[in-house]
Each structure stands twice: as C-alpha cells, then as structure tokens.
Amino acid sequence: MTIQEGDTLPAVTLTTMTEEGPKPIDLQELCDGKKVVLFAVPGAFTPTCSAQHLPGYVQNSQSFKEKGVDVVACVSVNDPFVMGAWGKDRNVSDEVLMLADGNGELTAAIGLEMDGTGFGLGTRSQRYAMVIDSGVVATLKVEPGPSLDVSSAESILESL
C-alpha cells in the first residue's frame, strides 16, 4: 500500500556518505521534531535527476529554510558511495542531505517502487517529493510518469 498524507513514516535506516565513510541515518530520528522535505529520484547520475531535479533543490535550499524547513534530503535506490559521488559532482555541499536507500527498504515500505528492469535499472523509486512534519507526511506529490512537475523544488515550495 502506498503511503498517504497523514501517515507516519516507517522505521527504516538509510545511509549517507561522510568523510569517515558510510553513516547510518534513522529516518524517524532525522524527522523527529523537524520539518523535512524528502524527494526521491529513480537514480543518481540519470539525466532528469542530475540536470533538473537535484539542482532545483540545491538552488532553492535557502528558500526552503526561509519557509521553516529544517532538512532537505534526496533519496535514491543507490549505494552510499554513488550518492556521495553524485552529491560531490553536483556541488550539493550541505544544502541537501544525500541518502542512499541501497536495498530499497524505504521505497518498498512506502509502496513507491518503480520497475526499471526494461532499462537495466532493476527496482527503483518512483520520482516523488514529500513534506514531513515530525515524522508525519504532510504533503506527498508523486510524478504520474517520467516527467518532473509535481515533485520539483518549485512545486514543493508553493505547497509550503
């Protein structure tokens, strides 16, 4: 079943890359008492994700802070090494927290898997964005197809 607005996030551990190596991130702890914007991409280094989706959130990170967002995070079914390299390649710095859902546990738990086997990608995440308020999904916008519209940084800023 797909997660809905008003639902609580599942208990999952994601991973981020640090100078010391991969670091586990408990999603519920990350969101506890905070407003978080979490957006998902089908894959690091893929065309739309690299050219539009991630850069939109990086460029608008200050606008999110001004609207009371504590954390902006990007998640993908990739390993933490890939997510770390992608963040460096895109000059993300500390504007966006890069999270790896290496085994697709979060993606499966919230019911937002995408079958990318036709492209050699395996099971990935659909493209979406959500606003999370203290662990509860306040806004959820899932792209209906391969486009980037409802989950863009600009669309989520308008919803805040």
Residues with a catalytic annotation lie at: 49
Could you tell me if 15 and 100 are in contact, meaning their C-beta atoms sit under 8 angstroms apart?
yes
Name the residue among 84, 106, 109 with its Cα closest to residue 96.
Answer: 84
3-state helix, strand, coil in the chain (%, to 5): 30, 30, 40
Name the residue among 10, 4, 5 with its Cα closest to residue 75.
Answer: 10
Residue 144: exposure state from Cβ atoms within 10 A (0-12, 13-18, ≥19): exposed
Could you tell me if 58 and 21 are in contact, meaning their C-beta atoms sit under 8 angstroms apart?
no
Residue 7: exposure state from Cβ atoms within 10 A (0-12, 13-18, ≥19): middle
